[in-house]
Structure 1
Amino acid sequence: MTLRTFKERVIQTGSFELIGIAFVSPVYAYLTGASMVHGFAMIAMLSIVIMIWCPIFNTIFDLIERGKTARLACKRPQSVRVLHATLHEVSAVIITCPLLMVVGGHSLGSALALNVGLTLTYTVYTYLFHIIYDRVRPIKPSLEKNEAGQSEHLTGEAAVA
């Protein structure tokens, strides 16, 4: 079975975060009454934290999914995509809420409210982004040697021995 390479995870995560920052920064600034510079800085800071967490989360999720189903992430059914996006955002709230409070100067209630808004926005965005990303940059199954030393082309449907 093939997983995304480290390089591919960097491309995936970087693309996800850059598009997200461009979309969310102005909305954050508007809703909080902050300047665009502060809005961009806050969302960029949150994104850096998430960029560190995202490849770790996605790799763990993919390994668990592969272990249970022997399926490639790009062959993921819609119900698992919804679970993936939801778990990603729940973990993001846990990680970023303290940052919103300490650096952003928000109260616990305000930080949670902002996180709920960010979570709802990013849950939909995560779902759509990964569908598009998997279509634009699908995982290419690797060639692996069989017992006779011949190369075999593995697919997402191949059974794990």
Structure 2
Amino acid sequence: MRTTRDRIRHAISFELIGILLATPLAAFAFHLEGGDSMVNVIASATVAMLWNYIYNLMFDHGMQRFRGTTEKTKLIRVFHAIFFEIGLLAIMLPPIAWYLQISLLDAFIMDLALAIFYMIYALVFNWAYDRIFPLPEWTEGNA
């Protein structure tokens, strides 16, 4: 299982790269002022970083308990990314609507678009991270 230090490295690197990619994309896609896009993305990233740590810790404990390993198959990686984004969507929807002074439906559409982006990004990032920083317990195969 990953150490606390490794989980922190994972969360910070995930969010920093995500901010660099998502801020200009959100400004362009949603016709936001650069400052509003940056505040929205950075606030979301901050919450996501905390959620990332908590979610991955719970997910790994669940995998260890039910599968006896934290090694993820391709299907588990897909579900891992989907459930992460569903949880984050539930957490972030009200603050986004409030800050941007938009309806919950508009915030949902915006958050859904960002969630889809981040779901794909999470899948790619986590696969790459596991390749760059594999755990000794893993054998070749599904990682």
**TM surpasses 0.5:** yes
Residue-by-residue CA offset, 1:60-115 (whole Å, 9 max, x unaligned): 0110011011112xx31101000100000000100110111112222111100011
- Whole-angstrom CA distance in 2 between matches of 1:48 and 1:82: 23
Correspondence for 2:123: 127
Q: Structure 2 length normalisation: TM-score?
A: 0.92
Question: How far apart in 1 are the matches of 2:39 and 2:13?
Answer: 18
Distance 1:42 1:129 in 2: 21
Aligned-residue offset at 1:35: 1.9
Paired position in structure 1 for 2:77:
81
| Native 8 Å contact 1:85 1:126 kept in 2 | yes
Match in the other structure for 2:100? 104
Structure 1 runs, 4 residues or longer, greater than 6 Å off = none
Q: Which amino acid aligns with 1:60?
A: M
Q: Any conservation in 2 of the 1:46–1:96 contact (CA below 8 Å)?
A: yes
Report the equivalent of 1:59: 57
Q: Report the number of matched residues.
A: 139
| Corresponding letter in the other structure for 2:82 | T
SS of aligned partner of 1:86: helix
Whole-angstrom CA distance in 2 between matches of 1:135 and 1:86: 21
Q: Per the alignment, in what secondary structure is the counterpart of residue 100 of structure 2?
A: coil
Aligned 8 A contact 2:30 2:110 in 1: no
Cα RMSD between the aligned structures?
1.3
Q: Is the 8 A contact 1:46 1:99 kept in 2?
A: no
- Return the offset for 1:156: 4.6
Deviation at 1:36, TM superposition (A): 1.5
Amino acid at match of 1:53: W
Name the structure 1 match of 2:28: 30
Matched to 1:115, the amino acid is: D
Partner of 1:103: helix, strand, or coil? helix
For the pair shown, the structure with the greater C-alpha radius of gyration is 1
The superposition leaves residues 114-137 of structure 1 with CA deviations (integer Å, 9 ceiling, x where unpaired) of 111011111111111100000001
Give the AA of the match of 2:106.
S
